Amino acid sequence: MALHPLSWIGPVALPRLTLLLNHVISNEPVAMTKLQPHAGRTIDIRWASDFAPKLPRFLHPSQDGGPLLPPAMRFMITRAGLLELSEAHDAPNADGLTLTVHLSNPLRVIRQAFKGERPEVQIEGNASLAEAASWLMKHLRWDIQDDVARLVGNTPAEMLRHLSNAVRQALSRWRPGDATHPSSSQRH
């Protein structure tokens, strides 16, 4: 089987994603407390989509030209209440949890992310772990401004927050191919 040209992204990005998730979890002691009773269980993250863009054949990982999806991920919960990246398997762990994230329209998902909304997620598996995962998805937020303030100080962090809010608002109003764009309606 031929390797996909972008197959190197997963092995590089997933460990960093795990570090970021653990950073966010460790900043909220309640989150760690909710995960500790589930030590040894796994959380599988799978992706579902019917969106299949027309791309050159060499960019598709499959020969059928189906949807381009991120690789499946499996995290094991540690005794400390953090996550450890594990080898993803096709068969879900019977005592674990499977989260299926639906990515039907990538532009809508990106817009939702900028608004702080989440994509549709289907949760299957252990009921008590599902309750903990649901709590995490509803309550955990990465406080980027606080992390930036630790590095460069409060004033630059506040300026960056204002700039990012302006960019987020502009992107949330942007509609690709919108015929009512102000520059197109102001022609004389």
Q: Are residues 79 and 154 in the same domain?
A: no
Classify residue 3: in a domain, yes or no.
no
Q: Are residues 102 and 78 in the same domain?
A: yes
- Angle of helix 144-152 relative to helix 154-173, nearest 10 degrees, comes to 140
Q: How many Å apart are CA 109 and CA 102, to the nearest integer?
A: 9
Checking if the pLDDT of 186 tops 60, the result is: no
pLDDT of residue 26: 92
pTM above 0.85, yes or no: no
Return mean pLDDT, the chain. Answer: 77
Domain range for residue 32?
9-139
pLDDT of residue 176: 62
Q: What is the tally of structural domains in the chain?
A: 2
The residue whose two tokens read 């969106």 is 51
* Cβ contact 96:42 at 8 Å: yes
Query: What is the biggest distance separating any 2 CA atoms in the chain, rounded to whole angstroms?
Result: 68
* Cβ contact 162:147 at 8 Å: no
Q: How many Å apart are CA 84 and CA 78, to the nearest integer?
A: 7
